[in-house]
Structure 1
Amino acid sequence: MTFRQELFDSAPIRVRVVEGASETRRFVLPHLEADADVSIAGVHDAGGAAVEALRREPADILFLDVDLEDLDGFQVLHEAGSECAGAVVLMTTREEHALRAFEAGALDYLLKPLAPERFVQVLGRAKEHVRKDRLQHLVRRLAGLVKTLPEPSPAPRYLERLVIREVGRVTLLPVEDVDWISAEDNYVQVHVGGRGHLLRQPLRELEARLDPERFVRIHRSTLVNLQRVQELRPLLHGEYQVILRDRTTLKLSRGYRERLGPLLAQG
């Protein structure tokens, strides 16, 4: 990709497909061929050949079958290396692979048989991820060309979804759907629409992985999604009641007031 192409973001998004099942390939390829933003860099039905190709030429997006006969999808990622693709989408017949997919750094996963609407949605998300990475790379290059501009630090990547493991299923919960989070020893209770989901992770660790522009600590055991806050009511000794849109009432401790400074200034 030339610098001129990067500047106008016109270079095709190179997609590589690694899929052992012919019926799945027949589903995926027409969707990719119909997308004007996409260029198919290669199609493979075996993991070994895919590893060699990815080492020679990394892809922007990699659609990768987990259940390959020679190497499974996770082995392909390990052998090809972390730089083999800008965005990895794993395809599998087994839902229990979902958690392992995210632990392996995959952007998303697709359950077989593939559904057209879901495939288009995931492809769109992967393309947007690639464009953001290209933009960040372009900014760094421009900073290098203009000596007086400092090179920006990479933007922190915060959690987009929480993986909730419950009996018989794994739920992928978008963080924007969360109302508030409460601490329970080494666990947290994630509250969504009046329902609680238990997540085995200390509150301080989860807080560090959430966007601080969205989630704010209002008490030593409580995080709240600012977009769910409807009203603040003053109490004694500098404390406040925090009332959410669903009328849940939480307490803002005095020691955490400065974290809600912009909201309090509007009151």
Structure 2
Amino acid sequence: MMGGGEAAEPSVLRVALADDEPLARSRLRALLAAEPHVELVSEAASGAEAVRGVLQSSPDVLLLDVEMPAGDGFEVLRALPPESLPVVVFVTAWQQHAVRAFEAQALDFLLKPYDKERFRAALARARQQVRLVRRGEAVARQEALLSGLALSEAPLRRLPVKVDGRIRFVDCSAISHVESEANYVRVHVGTEQHVLRETLTHLEERLDTRRFLRVHRSVLVNLDQVREAEPLSQGEYLLVLGSSGTAVRTGRSHRVRVEAALGLGSDSAR
């Protein structure tokens, strides 16, 4: 199956998909069925099933969700031996994973909901990469996939946000603060605001803890953006942030951490 790379078109592009959502798998199945010279060789609903499917079917391309039970997408890649790694295209509804995906040397990142044209473009890129793999010219990329996984746990330097159907990368140093809104967060960058489908706790874990501090149960603040700190009653402060001058009130239970991070002593609070 892996031979015959001399033709302009691959004889068959062998594709595996892994997604815990039945509707997402059904849509991918339909899109793949509409493409010529494509064979779906494995389908999985969990990380463990994805690993087994790749090892048993040896696909050329893996369409991989990130958030899955029994091992997320990154754990799937870590579990596969280098010689079994296919070309990887991440498919997920969680845009905060985009940076990690590209740090892990994924070929592409499909953000749900995506349209047919975007899917076909990703598949075309994957087909081209498979040609290189079949000619033995993409070994370095496959090795970079493994080494890049170790980098995926590093703090985010840029945060992916969706703007007008495109993903834009915002430098984390430009973020003044982040507010929690149930299962969403509102990211403030100057006068702009971006709403992400993400919990504040999860985002906090991905940001640089030396720079970002939880000053209230529902607010994260970029310490480098704090211009002023006005002492209030009962150990609270009013923090003035960034060029916009936005004011954020700290919570009294966070007093010790806030004062330590900003170098505020008891004299400053009077």
Task: Name the TM-score, length of structure 2 as normaliser.
Answer: 0.49
TM-score by length of 1: 0.50
